[in-house]
Amino acid sequence: MVLVLLILTGWAIYDTLSKNMASSVKDGGKSEGQVAEGIEVGNRAPDFVLRTLNGEEVRLSDFRGKRVIVNIWATWCPPCRAEMPDMQKFYEQYKDERVEIVAVNLTQSERQPEHVARFIQEYGITFTVVLDEKGEVSRQYEAQAIPTSYLIDSKGIIRKKMIGPMSYDWMVDQMESIQ
């Protein structure tokens, strides 16, 4: 009887350890706490705090548990203007499926800050728009060209980086491939 208990205990320990090893290998050998923060695919997206036009403080980490598109843009940017209707359509279609869009406006590059409010109204934007008034987030995320977008999974890990405008179909395909 003691021998049977020892064998069962040993099997339980082996089974638990092998499952932990398998999930570690599947995640690239790193547990969630060991994922490096950075802007490369596979890194934990750097957190930031910015304000909306209404002065509400928004943190990227507020959206943990949801898939997020962080889009860095400006009102004067033609490709940014071109992708906004598709982003709004995508958001309306998927907002109830744990998907968020956080549009980081390069406010320091705008001729007049009022342009952002006018743009949001003109395009009927209902997703989160935050103001990068000092350019800190655009520097942190190394947005050399705009629009630049990062697709982040529900655990805060960057899964895709897109330089240039996104289409509705591309957003659907990409977000369906991440958790």
Q: Residues 78-118: pLDDT tens digits?
A: 999 999 999 999 999 999 999 999 999 999 999 998 999 99
Please, where are the H alpha helices in 27-113? 78-94
The DSSP element (H or E) to which 162 belongs, if any, is: strand 158-163
The CA–CA distances, whole Å, from 101 to 34, 152, 163, 171, 178 equal: 26, 10, 16, 11, 15
Look at 71 and 30; give whichever has higher pLDDT.
Answer: 71
CA distance 139 to 165: 19
The CA–CA distances, whole Å, from 23 to 10, 27, 28, 53 equal: 20, 6, 9, 42
Q: Could you report the per-residue pLDDT of 123-144, keeping only the tens digit for each?
A: 999 999 999 999 999 999 999 9
CA distance 155 to 68: 10
Edge-to-edge strand list for the sheet holding 128-131? 57-59, 49-51, 128-131, 99-105, 67-73, 148-152, 158-163
Q: Which amino acid is at 141?
A: Y
Q: Is the pLDDT of residue 32 over 70?
A: no
Q: Mean pLDDT for the chain?
A: 86
Query: Does residue 125 contact residue 99 with C-beta atoms inside 8 Å?
Result: no
Give residue 28's pLDDT. Answer: 43
Give residue 33's pLDDT. Answer: 62
Helix/strand number for the chain, H first, E second: 5, 7
User: Can you read off the two tokens belonging to residue 122?
Assistant: 């003109």
